[in-house]
């Protein structure tokens, strides 16, 4: 294949297209971040509050729900994929880009409990096809698929700040290799994780060295058997929780197929009610239960003692409920809310005997994001990069594999309803045919 001239030309085009796609993805993420900070931090302070008041999410989410509902009902592409169905790499055309942009730039900064990764994948793939049409590149089925995947990978890499995550994520999302990929990859992933546990254990127990790629960076406290034993019940418990959140999201997705604008707005208001109750019960900012949780996760990891047990339990309950409503009724990505819920559960459980903060968050995030995405390798790579150390890799692998197996064995709930594309132009009946 590499010897074929058309393949090499497509490869060069993919590399060139990655430049504008990455730049647009960068400004898209900057716009989301700035809008989120303006709406949830700057405006409340400008109005005289220390933090956003308890009712802040109600009007914002009403606007988000109404806007997304209109996009879903009126615009081609329906604003992108329904997030309760996980991440998807295809199916978004150039005509769908305006709807994806509006749904993301309005809904996500106003408090929707979803992340930007799904809109980025859609935007990257659609923009790649758009630029290919501008330069009049030959379009075949194979080149279209390659260009769409390359654009999506370039965009998603801008979010995670690492090309490896983008490439691995798109490989699993696109399903290259089909179901056999998981059949072969899952046992290999588990065996490599167990092998790493045993190997690392013998190195620590015997003090003998076999050679290493370690370049001398400081390492965290080595794992012990307590970390592994606690991972065995924590991972399936969190997988069970996230799985049923997604099942709830699929029921919500069925609800919004009728009277889409009204029901999407109702779902947004239901999520806002969960966010509001969290703020009332805890006295903390409603922003902690709203939004994707990406920025709050960093604060949680750096200052875990600033959260009481009651606040951690409350954010797990009410953010999970809001997450379910947003998964089925609104538009965005499922990654960061799942990471936050897993991280918060890890902080809550970290005082257990023999369990520390880093291992607990590693298990929690790996189990939660794997249950959300059903992509074990991508989940492992993402969590390891977030943690920034190699000592917990084996624990992350173990939690991801256990979580993946658990969610595959559980009842899957209803399927995602299939929407038909709205007609190109909604025109009323001719005047002459109307009854007088």
Please provide the DSSP assignment of 292-319 as one string. -SHHHHHHHHH-GGGS-HHHHHHHHHHH
CA angle centred on 72, ends 70 and 75, rounded to 5°: 80
What pLDDT was estimated at residue 169?
Answer: 73
Written as six digits, the tokens of 390 are 């190699």
Q: What digits encode the pLDDT tens for the residues 36-89? A: 999 999 999 999 999 999 999 999 999 999 999 999 999 988 888 899 988 776
Q: What digits encode the pLDDT tens for the residues 170-190? A: 666 665 445 555 454 445 445
- pLDDT at 114 > cutoff 90: yes
What pLDDT was estimated at residue 417?
Answer: 73
Nearest-Å Rg of the Cα atoms of the chain is 23
- pLDDT at 228 > cutoff 70: yes
H or E element, residue 342: helix 335-349
Written as six digits, the tokens of 258 are 């009728």
Structure pTM? 0.84
Q: What SS3 state is found at 333?
A: strand
Q: Nearest to residue 236, comparing CAs of 355, 351, 362, 364?
A: 364
What pLDDT was estimated at residue 19?
Answer: 77
């Amino acid at each position: 294949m590499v010897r074929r001239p058309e393949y090499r030309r497509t490869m060069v085009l993919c590399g060139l297209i990655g430049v504008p796609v990455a730049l647009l993805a960068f400004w898209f993420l900057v716009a989301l971040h700035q809008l989120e900070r303006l709406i949830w931090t700057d405006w409340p302070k400008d109005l005289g509050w220390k933090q956003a008041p308890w009712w802040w999410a109600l009007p914002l989410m009403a606007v988000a729900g109404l806007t997304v509902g209109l996009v879903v009902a009126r615009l081609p592409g329906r604003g992108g994929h329904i997030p309760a169905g996980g991440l998807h790499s295809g199916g978004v055309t150039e005509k769908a880009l305006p709807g994806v942009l509006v749904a993301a730039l309005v809904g996500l900064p106003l408090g929707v409990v979803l992340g930007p990764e799904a809109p980025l994948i859609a935007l990257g793939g659609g923009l790649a096809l758009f630029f290919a049409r501008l330069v009049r590149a030959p379009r075949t089925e194979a080149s279209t698929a390659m260009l769409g995947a390359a654009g999506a990978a370039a965009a998603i890499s801008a979010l995670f700040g690492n090309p490896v995550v983008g490439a691995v994520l798109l490989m699993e999302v696109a399903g290259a290799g089909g179901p056999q990929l998981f059949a072969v990859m899952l046992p290999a992933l588990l065996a490599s994780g167990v092998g790493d546990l045993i190997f690392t254990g013998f190195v620590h127990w015997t003090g003998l060295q076999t050679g290493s790629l370690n370049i001398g960076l400081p390492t965290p406290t080595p794992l012990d058997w307590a970390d592994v034993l606690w991972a065995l019940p924590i991972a399936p418990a969190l997988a069970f929780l996230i799985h049923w959140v997604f099942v709830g999201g699929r029921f919500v997705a069925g609800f919004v197929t009728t009277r889409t604008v009204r029901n999407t707005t109702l779902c947004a208001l239901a999520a806002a009610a969960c966010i509001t109750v969290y703020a009332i019960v805890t006295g903390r900012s409603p922003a902690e239960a709203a939004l994707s949780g990406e920025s709050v996760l960093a604060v949680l990891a750096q200052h875990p003692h600033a959260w009481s047990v009651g606040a951690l339990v409350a954010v797990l309950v009410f953010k999970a409920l809001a997450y379910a409503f947003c998964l089925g009724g609104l538009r965005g990505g499922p990654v960061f809310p799942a990471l936050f819920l897993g991280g918060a559960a890890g902080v809550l459980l970290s005082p257990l005997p023999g369990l520390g903060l880093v291992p607990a968050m590693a298990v929690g995030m790996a189990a939660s994001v794997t249950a959300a995405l059903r992509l074990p390798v991508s989940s492992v790579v993402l969590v390891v990069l977030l943690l920034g150390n190699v000592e917990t890799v084996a624990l992350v692998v173990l939690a991801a594999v256990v979580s993946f197996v658990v969610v595959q064995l559980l009842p899957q709930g209803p399927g995602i309803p299939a929407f038909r594309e709205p007609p190109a132009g909604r025109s009323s009946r001719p005047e002459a045919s109307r009854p007088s």
